[in-house]
Amino acid sequence: MPNSRDTRRLEPNAAGIAEAAALLRGGLLVALPTETVYGLAADATSGTAVAGIYAAKGRPRFNPLIAHLPDLAAARREGVFDAPALALAAAFWPGPLTLVVPVSADCAVCDLARAGLSSVALRVPSHPVARAVLERAGRPIAAPSANRSGRISATCAGDVLEELDGRIDAVLDAGATKIGVESTIVACLGGAPRLLRPGGATRQAIEAVIGQALLLAEDDSAAPLSPGLLASHYAPAARVRLDAAAARAGEAWLGFGPEAETAAPGRAALNLSPAGDLAEAAANLFGHLRRLDAARPAGIAVAAIPEHGLGEAINDRLRRAAAPR
């Protein structure tokens, strides 16, 4: 039963890291910090362990997971890297980029984690605690964001427990995550690389490495490359209204940049970055949405966010949060 586990809190020291790796090797579920968001980790080579992730999240089975590795050498055992994939790995790993590549002949990531696809999503995170656990685990580790399916991603251990307490075996608490939005996902499946999800690595930085514009997933109507990119996702309980000039009656307010007026007293209001800094806004995004939602407003009105740099990932998440459910 998903709700019957005793969820332990592990410290981000040598003992906690060793314990997390041992739990993972034993097929159990551990929430791990990464530089983007917390991940709900399990042994990617074990169908039973991966089934535990889907059960804990209440996630539809057709949605494939990212396999996390300690370095490029380990990643190359799981997938086939063409020239653009190698250039991107060299430029961004370890870091907030996930590469979808064809599976290798001896790929150890199980069918369930790949949702039966002939490609695999690989990521080498930069968070030192995540890397230490991955090294000790000695196998690919599947880790979707540590939230229940469709809900707001978790950026600190407290938020992980709000989502998954009693459903997982442990959370390794290393404080708040630095970037705050998930990794950018790029498919390198032959031909030009394709952007499947904007994220912590900006489109501009990626295009500078590959020397051409990224194709968009929507440019190819043949197949939905990223089956998990559902329109409604990251959703608070409250209705979300984007590009708002001000909150209406009953709405909470999520601002960005310097604001002329302070919010009406008693109204829930937070600012993603009073200085108008997109990195700060990304780091605050999920936590602020969660805090405002906890005040149970009729809705959450969100100020306009510029679409460049990390703004592309922030706006992607906000559009999904605002999508009809």
Residue from the set 12, 33, 52, 64 that interacts with ligand TXA by CB under 6 A:
64
* Contact between 122 and ligand TXA per CB under 6 A: no
* Contact between 145 and Mg ion per CB under 5 A: yes
Residue type, 165: D
Half-sphere exposure (CA, 13 Å, Cβ side) for 172? 33
Residue nearest to ligand TXA (CB): 228
Out of Mg ion, ligand TXA, none, what residue 229 binds, judged by CB under 5 to 8 A for its kind, is ligand TXA
Smallest gap, in angstroms, from Cβ of residue 315 to Mg ion? 16
Smallest gap, in angstroms, from Cβ of residue 197 to ligand TXA? 6
**CA-closest candidate to residue 38, choices 135, 136, 178, 219:** 178
Smallest gap, in angstroms, from Cβ of residue 171 to ligand TXA? 13
Out of ligand TXA, Mg ion, none, what residue 238 binds, judged by CB under 5 to 8 A for its kind, is none
Residue from the set 7, 25, 27, 63 that interacts with ligand TXA by CB under 6 A:
63
User: What is the sign, positive or negative, of the torsion defined by CA atoms of 196, 144, 236, 33?
Assistant: negative
Distant-in-sequence, close-in-space partners of 233: CB < 8 Å, separation ≥ 6: 150, 317, 320, 321, 323
Residue nearest to Mg ion (CB): 145
Q: Which stretch binds ligand TXA (CB under 6 A): 7-15, 58-66, 168-176, 309-317?
A: 58-66
CB 20 within 8 A of CB 10: yes
Q: How deeply is 242 buried, as exposed, middle or buried, from its count of CB atoms within 10 A (0-12, 13-18, 19+)?
A: middle
Q: How deeply is 82 buried, as exposed, middle or buried, from its count of CB atoms within 10 A (0-12, 13-18, 19+)?
A: middle
Number of residues this chain uses to bind Mg ion (CB under 5 A): 1
* Contact between 12 and ligand TXA per CB under 6 A: no
Smallest gap, in angstroms, from Cβ of residue 70 to ligand TXA? 13
Q: Which residues here bind Mg ion, judged by CB under 5 A? A: 145
